[in-house]
Amino acid sequence: MEKLLMGPGPSNVDPRVLKAMSQPLVGHLDPDFLKIMDSTMECLRQIFKTKNRLTMPVSGTGSAGMEAACVNFIEPGDKVIVGVNGVFGARAADLMGRIGAEVTEIKEKWGSPIEIEKIVKAFSAAKGKIKALLLVHAETSTGVHQPLDEAGWIAREEGALFIVDTVTSLGGVDVRIDDWLIDVSYSGTQKCLSCPPGLSPFTANERAMDVLRKRKTKVPSWYFDFSMIEKYWGSERVYHHTAPISMIFGLHEGLKIILEEGLEKRFARHMENHVYLRDELEKMGIRFVVEPAYRLPNLNSVYVPAGIDEKKVRMRMLSEYNIEIGAGLGEFAGKVWRIGLMGHTSRKENVDTLINTLKKVMG
């Protein structure tokens, strides 16, 4: 029996995507596949809301996209600012440190957004030029929806790159790469795009690519070196690595499904189902972690009621009812559940199934 995936990812996959992935393989430089590559890039531009030439899927999960963003545009000794209000901000800060960057972390209470005043203060306090500001748009570990519009202007005024993690937001809530002055963004296929994990949609503007071309040191990763990868995804089609052909078939179909639905309708669907879930959970006395203004509609983080064995409830739901919800991570381990309403999974009937099952399991 198919499991209902209502955790933090992966989400359930549309049958059209699975069918597309079952197509016979072709060569990764086959003319027919090159057309799929071109169409995939154009679909991603529409969903990212960007005109960036370099907009394509990195071969690897969302974490691969994060690593690609850091190793291409940051060099040893560069000063960077990273917003840390959950696991994935902390992960980005750790990666920046691993490649030799000087990292300033803007730490915020888990479940709260990074305040714009703290970003301004971090730039003001910096001794020397800041190379980049990195924020997580949708913090999967907490369910926080981070505002971005002002942060992009601040980074641009300071001459810094603005790098944004859109792994859990792309395709579920509005992402405006060009309007918000985002220079670099990476995402994942297994969340609101409703494809299997394995690709990281990525976009970088010419401002960022100019930084890459003026590096003093070689990109420390051969596999993620965009100075080479852009020539494979660009008109030159210079061989770099064998693309995951079946995954790209699936992503291409998944993006077509999103555009057929329409972005605004899709965002509204996610919000409507979030509101319905919220109302039903609150009737049960279950409280949300995040304040209403900053809640992600597609990833709902809620406190486990007092006296409830959170792991026992999750395991019973999975083993007896084939429904997956997520546990808390880091500071929230054992304290919260994370309930996903992402992409194909975000349906009213799935909310009904979840609520009815929760009531049975919690007694």
Q: pLDDT tens, 19-69?
A: 999 999 999 989 999 999 999 999 999 999 999 999 999 999 999 999 999
Going by pLDDT thresholds of 50, 70 and 90, the confidence category of residue 87 is: very high
Domain ranges of the chain: 4-9+263-362, 15-259
Instruction: Could you please state the CATH topology (level 3) that the domain comprising 15-259 is classified under.
Output: Aspartate Aminotransferase; domain 2 (3.40.640)
Q: Is the pLDDT of residue 127 over 90?
A: no
**CA separation for the pair 97, 251 (Å, rounded):** 32
Q: What's the average model confidence in pLDDT over 66-73?
A: 98
Give, in degrees to the nearest 5, the angle at Cα 311 between 332 and 289: 30
Please tell me what DSSP assigns to residue 170.
Answer: B
Residues 9, 140: contact at Cβ < 8 Å? yes
Buried b (16+ CB within 10 A) or exposed e, 92-118: bbebbeebebbbbbbebebbbbbeeee
Residues facing 302 on adjacent strands: 288, 337
Q: What SS3 state is found at 6?
A: coil
The mean per-residue pLDDT over the stretch 136-144 comes to 98
Q: What pLDDT is recorded for position 57?
A: 98
- Mean pLDDT computed over every residue of the chain: 97
Helices (H), 214-347: 226-233, 245-261, 263-283, 310-321
pLDDT greater than 90 at residue 236: no
What is the domain class of 4-9+263-362 according to CATH?
alpha beta
Q: How far is CA 82 from CA 102, 108, 136, 141, 168, in A?
A: 11, 11, 9, 16, 18
Indicate if the pLDDT at residue 169 is higher than 80: yes
If residue 150 lies in a helix (H) or strand (E), which one and from where to where? Answer: helix 149-157
pLDDT digits (tens, 9 = 90+) for 213-229: 999 999 999 999 999 99
Taking 90 as the threshold, does the pLDDT of residue 179 lie above it? Answer: yes
- Whether the pTM exceeds 0.85: the reply is yes
Place of tokens 């393989």: 25
Question: Is the predicted pLDDT of residue 202 greater than 80, yes or no?
Answer: yes
